[in-house]
Amino acid sequence: MKKLQVLAEARQEFADALRYYRRQGPAFAEALALEYRTIVRHARAFPQAGAVEVASESMPVRRLLLRQFPYKVLIVNLPDQLVVIAFAHVRRKPGYWRERIP
């Protein structure tokens, strides 16, 4: 499995979503955390998984959609590691994360 780096901004986005769902009920927050961990584990095992969201000059950004929540994990597959660049809501602020592409 490849090494994983999660950008601080992506970590904060996930924390914000988790906080929101915790207010909705602990079961929602637990389900979100479980689904996120599952997606990241899958990406580490299969670095080419997910549809290409955007192709930068150097590297494609792949998206992995959560099934139960309106979020996507955006990942760049670098030669030595995977980088989670965003934990983004699927219907809010499209493309705001593009400046984070390495």
Architecture of domain 3-91: 2-Layer Sandwich (3.30)
Q: In this predicted model, what pLDDT tens digit does every residue of 29-45 receive, in sequence order?
A: 999 999 999 999 999 99
Longest CA–CA span in the chain (Å) reads 42
CA distance 94 to 26: 28
Q: In which band, very low, low, confident or very high, does the pLDDT at 1 lie, cut at 50, 70 and 90?
A: confident
pLDDT at 58: 67
CA distance 97 to 2: 22
Q: In this predicted model, what pLDDT tens digit does every residue of 58-102 receive, in sequence order?
A: 679 999 999 999 999 999 999 999 999 999 999 999 889 988 988
DSSP 35: H
